[in-house]
Amino acid sequence: MALLDTVRGPADLKALSADTLPALAEEIRSFLIEAVSLSGGHLGPNLGVVELTIALHRVFDTPRDSILWDTGHQTYVHKLLTGRKDFSRLRATGGLSGYPSRAESEHDIIENSHASTALAWADGLAKAHRLTDRRDRRVIAVVGDGALTGGMAWEALNSLVDQRLPVVIVVNDNGRSYASTRGGLARHLASLRTARGYEEFLTLVKRLREIPMAGAPVFDVMHGVKAGIKDVLAPQGLFQDLGVKYVGPVDGHDIAATERALRSAAGFDGPVVVHCVTRKGNGFPAAEQDEQDRMHVVGAPVTGPKPTDWTSVFADEMVRIGAERTDIVAITAAMLEPVGLRTFAERYPDRVFDVGIAEQHAVTSAAGLSLGGMHPVVALYATFLNRAFDQILMDVALHRCGVTFVLDRAGVTGTDGPSHNGMWDLSLLQLVPSLQIAVPRDATRLRLQLRQAIGVTDRPTVIRYPKGALPPVTEPVGTVGTAEILARPDGESTVLIVAVGPMALPAVAAARDLAGAGIAATVVDPCWVKPLDAELLKLAEAHRLVVTVEDNGRVAGVGAALVQALHDAMIHTPVRCLALPQEFLAHGSRAEVLAQAGLTAQDIVRDVTNTLHRLGAVAVEETR
């Protein structure tokens, strides 16, 4: 029987002899490479934490002890060691989540998939344990070096030190997040891990460990010597300067050494950092040597040529714009490759700023660049824009800075689950005065609207688009103000369908099906959804029913904005708002989630038909 088959939970792992653990690690690594290559998922991060996760579960006792992962995409090994071995539907409907999930296991304490938050969770949990006298419970935060570029982590660390909370902070240092970790902290960690004198000393200690000495193993003696002379051989630890005990650096792929470091840290009555040096993608050469981090997350296999996606169109257009305008600069938060800025960075390296996992800083820095005469393009995943709302409102919009935000993975992203669905941005951004939002429906509109956005110099602009392959180009058959008409009947139109961006395709299909049922419908794409064009309101007034369709939450979205605008204009045309339910949506494919939310062509037809029937019944009743 394979070793992995014998591990049904942490207790089974603890029962294994130390000499079997390297073989277990290799089995886990082989399992991950095979399973993730079939399902898609985060491969590189999990290959890098195999031994570290084994050590954590051998030293600590979950769920009594709380292991908090920052971020949660590195928990596949943790899932395996806590009894979840069916990866056949990883990140698919009905299968395992790609992140920690409290619904899956009591060993998953927090569903953490936005970086830099685990230390704040740890701070709160440790305070609660102290107040309730549960001093036998440990709190462990596993924090990547990339996550430490986020300011929230340092706010929490300040509190941990102030309260002297017994939290074990495991710094998983692989020098990368989505890309090479940037900034002063990254350089400091590099100096700790690469100090030559200290590395040579560690090698000497490793060779002497097994030599017996009178009265004590040589390891115990050398451990004390190492602690005393480390500061001479390695740069002074930043963490120690802050008042945090520091253990390390430790080879995170040496299970025995990592266990010793964790056991030592567990006995300290205060915050302690265990600095584990790991290699992202360890054990899989293609992932280890992946300089552009394409193995960070891999997709499920596809047959045939890969279709052009939204991100690649943005990437191409940014390079063109960069050649035309020297004032265009780009900002990313540790996601140069995923948001499509790598080629721009290669062409114009002095005009790209990767600020690390620090979205708040990215936005206010962009405001400063704008004040200095540049036009920044801030490229983020839509879900991460939530973290910088105050900076958009008070730093960019209040100061009327010309900053363009490009939001990738907007709307339903699907497989990454509730934390990554970009379904909040259209609602949040409706609150921001003067800001303008465009939602392209295809590649042609993306190129055009990006250029329109960067032409605006006295207010912020936003372009948002979904994840995945591009739909076919839908050319307009007419215009009304800044909006474009995509379909209209030959005669009088009864229903106006307002299709927001990529929802144009199902809306046009619905209009065609409605025509077959004798219901004349016009489809219009607002193009710019904030502010709404006054001509669109006039068009709505000329119809018996308006239906809005958007890939965003129902509350305060484009549909709600149209209802408010019609109300303000004293236009009383009924409006139906079809959008995502205001819920945390479970993982599944984009098509599945949209279907569950009632956003298919068939759903639009059904809603229009039922609403017209009800309106007709009301009209008949009123005439009586």
Annotated binding site for thiamine diphosphate: 73, 113-115, 146-147, 174, 284, 359
**Measured between alpha carbons, how far is 59 from 398 in angstroms, rounded to an integer?**
51
Question: Helix or strand or coil: residue 463?
Answer: strand
530 catalytic? Reply is no
288 catalytic? Reply is no
- CA–CA distances in Å: residue 584 to residues 40, 421, 480, 553: 22, 9, 36, 10
Please choose, from the candidates 344, 464, 334, the residue with its C-alpha nearest in 3D space to the C-alpha of residue 404. Answer: 464
**Measured between alpha carbons, how far is 430 from 410 in angstroms, rounded to an integer?**
15
Q: Say if residue 326 is preceded by a cis peptide, omega within 30 of 0.
A: no
Where do we find the tokens 């945390």? 584
Output the DSSP codes for 174-220: -SBSSSB--SHHHHHHHHHHH-HHHHHHHHHHHHHTTSEETTEEHHH
Choosing from 193, 230, 280, 441, the catalytic residue is: 280
- CA–CA distances in Å: residue 533 to residues 26, 496, 523, 524, 550: 60, 15, 15, 12, 17
**Measured between alpha carbons, how far is 502 from 426 in angstroms, rounded to an integer?**
14
- Which burial class, exposed, middle or buried, applies to 624 when counting CB atoms under 10 A from its CB (0-12, 13-18, 19+)? exposed
- CA–CA distances in Å: residue 135 to residues 125, 261, 264: 11, 21, 17
250 has which bridge partners? 276
332 has which bridge partners? 354, 379
Choosing from 193, 387, 441, 464, the catalytic residue is: 387
Tokens of 297: 């997350």
Q: Which residues are annotated as a binding site?
A: 73, 113-115, 145-147, 174, 284, 359
320 catalytic? Reply is no
Output the DSSP codes for 333-352: SS-TTTTT-HHHHHH-GGGE
| φ/ψ (deg, to 5) at 242 | -85, -5
Choosing from 337, 359, 484, 550, the catalytic residue is: 359
Are 252 and 258 contacting, i.e. CB atoms less than 8 angstroms apart?
yes
Q: Which residues are annotated as a binding site for Mg(2+)?
A: 145, 174
**Measured between alpha carbons, how far is 355 from 388 in angstroms, rounded to an integer?**
14
Rg (CA), the chain: 28
Residues that are catalytic: 280, 359, 387
